[in-house]
């Protein structure tokens, strides 16, 4: 098993990562009867895309001999109704420096091939951008 999820009541869950014991809380968003005091389940999906992209780029960066420390991602999730679902994800990845045209292209291609991106429904519009300082 990967995790155990417990419903705590009042539209809140606690997830426990079984290997590490790390915990995560989710709340229903304010626009869906919740308090919005933590990531919503769909927020975690959007966030997973950004963390996956940064992680696989970090692995590739090691191979390339570059350091991605300080890279960041801004995440914007848009919801649709009927049925309620994620309709669009905007991921803006920023790097503290350029690694040269060749390495930049390799890193961007790596990000665009992360497992989470391939796991998302094809109807979700994905806007991904990269900025180098």
pLDDT in tens, 15-66: 999 999 999 999 999 999 999 999 999 999 999 999 999 999 999 999 999 9
Q: What is the DSSP letter of 112?
A: T
Average pLDDT for 96-122: 98
- Asked if residues 91 and 129 have their Cβ atoms less than 8 Å apart, the reply is yes
**What pLDDT does 17 receive?**
98
Tell me how far apart the alpha carbons of residues 120 and 61 are, in angstroms, rounded to a whole number. Answer: 24
Which helix or strand (DSSP H or E) is residue 61 part of? helix 41-64
* Per-residue confidence band for 123, with pLDDT thresholds at 50, 70 and 90: very high
Question: pTM higher than 0.75 for the full model?
Answer: yes
Helices (H), the chain: 41-64, 101-111, 115-119
In the chain, what are the domains?
3-32 (no CATH), 41-132 (3.30.300.20)
């Amino acid at each position: 098993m990967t995790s155990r999820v417990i419903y705590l009541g009042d539209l809140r869950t606690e997830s426990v990562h079984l290997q590490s014991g790390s915990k995560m809380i989710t709340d229903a968003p304010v626009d869906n009867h919740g308090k919005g005091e933590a990531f919503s389940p769909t927020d975690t999906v959007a966030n997973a895309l950004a963390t996956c992209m940064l992680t696989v780029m970090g692995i590739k960066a090691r191979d390339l001999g570059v350091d991605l420390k300080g890279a960041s991602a801004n995440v914007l999730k848009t919801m649709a109704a009927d049925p309620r679902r994620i309709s669009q994800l905007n991921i803006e990845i920023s790097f503290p420096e350029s690694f040269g045209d060749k390495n930049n292209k390799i890193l961007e291609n790596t990000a665009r091939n992360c497992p989470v991106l391939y796991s998302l429904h094809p109807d979700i519009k994905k806007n991904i951008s990269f900025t180098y300082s």
